[in-house]
Chain A
Amino acid sequence: MNYIFFILIVGSIIIGAINGKLQDVVNAVMSGAELSVKVAFSLIGIMAFWLGMMKIAQKAGIIDWISKVLKPIAKFLFNEIPSDSPATGDIAMNFSANAFGLSNAATPFGIKAMEELQKVNKDKTSASNAMCMLLGMNTAGFQLIPTTVLAVLVGVGYENPTEIIAPTLLVTLIAFISAIILSKIFQKLWKPQTEEIKGGENE
């Protein structure tokens, strides 16, 4: 992450200077910083709402129940988390919210799942295999209906917007399954996590 951050910032400045867009790049620092806080603040309300709902679901035993039902799948995908961890339920909620296009709800569920996974993580500064799998599933963006895209298409007068749904679903499914397979492969190839080193340095 350190290198990516360095390359993003320094690379942008150099390329911006070459392209004569240095002023734009400097302005982007300001607008980007402002935007990040806006994004975070816009999450507070919806995050609070869903975390509240999740708490009820947890106390009512719904999350445990989902975890139990999905145990076989979870065991395959997230083989290192304990079978009684509520993470499975959170992950299921995260996945369903994504699938139904409720990305606002998906984020709090995902974060809740990350917190549960962090509890059973060996090294608190590095991502466990289960975390990487969850992230892989999320970055692939599996969604049944691309609602925003449909809205744009309708707006510009596209004749038959719904014809886009099936191909999009197929593509997103391919990406989603690839992400799972890739995570499984990298789990085997990548250097395994070491036990926690206090104050461990970043890569």
Chain B
Amino acid sequence: MSNFLNLISLWALPVLLILILTIGLIKKVPVYEEFTDGAKEGFKVAINIIPYLVAIIVGISMLRASGAIDMCAKAFAPVLNLFHVPAQTLPLMIVRSLSGSAALGVFSDIANSLDPNSYAVKLAAIMVGSSETTFYVLAVYFGSVKISKMRYALLVGILADIIGIIAAVWVAHLMFG
């Protein structure tokens, strides 16, 4: 099953490219001209999102540097002990909504410092693998169309992250606990 999934992952992109170009040619689309025409937008979009990225990435970098995440982790530790959640995974729960590279860093840290086959590593792997950086997605997507009022989008993102954490703890407990 996992081999099959890996195969799909590997072939998804090449197949997509072949399909787009072949169908394009069959439909007599000038593929080269249309490609370069569409690609022009790439630069504009990337430049457009810079202000939004700066706002969100600087804010989150500052928050991480301030030690606030460790403080939160300490505050929540007793609650998590109640559910037999290893304390090492705590910073990860907070960081994974904020920064993708930081989450991966924290995860590598956990995987390298603990026994690779320990429960904490398994739980951490599930948590990192099942999440997307909510704040980054919001900044990029809304930034690209210059939307400043997010309405309930952030709330949905954070609630879904919390549900994801609870689900990760539950599934890990069921399978590896």
Q: At the interface, yes or no: A174 with Cβ under 8 Å from chain B? A: yes
* CB-defined contacts of A32 to chain B, threshold 8 Å: 54, 57-62
Is B153 a contact of A156 with CB atoms below 8 Å? no
Is A175 a contact of B152 with CB atoms below 8 Å? no
State the main secondary structure of chain B at its contact with A.
helix
- Give the distance in Å from the alpha carbon of A70 to the alpha carbon of B146 in the complex: 28
- Give the distance in Å from the alpha carbon of A115 to the alpha carbon of B126 in the complex: 33
Q: A135-B141, A146-B129, A152-B107 are in contact. Are A39 and B154 (CB under 8 A)?
A: no
Question: Number of residue pairs across A and B with beta carbons under 8 Å?
Answer: 355
Binary interface profile of B, 81-123, with partner A (CB < 8 Å = 1, else 0)?
0000000000000000000000010011001100011000110
Size bracket, chain A contacts: 35 or more
State the main secondary structure of chain A at its contact with B.
helix
Size bracket, chain B contacts: 35 or more
Is B59 a contact of A24 with CB atoms below 8 Å? no
Residues of B within 8 A of A (CB): 1-2, 5-6, 8-9, 12-13, 17, 19-21, 23-24, 26-27, 29, 31, 34-43, 45-47, 49-50, 53-68, 71, 104, 107-108, 111-112, 116-117, 121-122, 125-134, 137-138, 140-142, 144-157, 159-161, 163-164, 167-168, 171-172, 175
What 10 A-B pairs have minimum CB-CB distances, sorted nearest first?
Answer: A55-B38, A141-B132, A48-B42, A146-B129, A32-B61, A8-B59, A52-B39, A175-B164, A126-B149, A16-B66
A–B Cβ pairs within 8 angstroms, 19 of them: A28-B65, A29-B58, A40-B49, A47-B41, A48-B41, A55-B34, A111-B141, A117-B145, A126-B148, A127-B150, A135-B156, A148-B129, A150-B129, A171-B127, A175-B130, A178-B164, A179-B157, A182-B155, A186-B155
